[in-house]
A and B are shown apart, each in its own frame.
Chain A
Amino acid sequence: GAVVSQHPSWVICKSGTSVKIECRSLDFQATTMFWYRQFPKQSLMLMATSNEGSKATYEQGVEKDKFLINHASLTLSTLTVTSAHPEDSSFYICSARGQISNQPQHFGDGTRLSIL
């Protein structure tokens, strides 16, 4: 089945650091990629939707200058948390959808980000 690889799986860094998370579709072309954030014991909240070659669409309340999303190719999207602070600590999950719009999204394994 389709595979989405997310890297790194776990990051611990100091406050003020910028952190980049990669999301790759390994065996299909991801027309659209999605970035989610999940707080402990809560559901996934969509942060932004990115289509290859265009600017990401951010959900209400998500700071686009804080969470930079780049979807430069059909197999790679990156999320950069700029100048991260402890409140940015969370579980970040990406997903990718191929060109067939009625097929489900495929999820990465997530990145646990801890800001000290």
Chain B
Amino acid sequence: SQQGEEDPQALSIQEGENATMNCSYKTSINNLQWYRQNSGRGLVHLILIRSNEREKHSGRLRVTLDTSKKSSSLLITASRAADTASYFCATDAGGYQKVTFGTGTKLQVIP
């Protein structure tokens, strides 16, 4: 399977704490994306990081990418209860290539 692995599978933290999720993948990529999915809903695109980038920020989100280790991390700072969701990384080889999703991390932020 080409599916990426994410860890942890589940994470429970207190509101205000930081949450870190990791993603490892197997093949070369054009870019890597992080998505959020609330229960029973579609995916919301959070951030895209290209293969020639090492770090990217968007609001309270910080994403890093290490192509030599084929890994990425998503950091959510000062978490809020509304951040409770499942988070998926997705690797994209570009063009007509498929996007492959990781196994996901279920984040629970306790108020």
Contacts and interface: CB of A to CB of B under 8 A. Distances in A.
Interface of A: 6, 32, 34, 36, 41-46, 49, 51, 59, 91, 93, 95, 101-102, 104-110, 112
Contacts, number: 58
Interface of B: 3, 30-31, 33, 35, 40-45, 48, 50, 88, 92, 94-96, 98-104, 106
B31 A93 contact: no
Give chain A's interface secondary structure class: strand
Contacts of B35: 107
Contacts of B41: 109-110
A44 B88 contact: yes
B74 to A, nearest CB: 15
Contacts of A6: 42
A88 to B, nearest CB: 18
Given A43-B103, A49-B96, A109-B41, A104 B88 contact: no
Given A43-B102, A44-B88, A102-B31, 13 more contacts: A41-B106, A42-B103, A44-B43, A49-B98, A91-B40, A95-B99, A104-B31, A104-B45, A104-B48, A106-B45, A107-B43, A109-B42, A110-B40
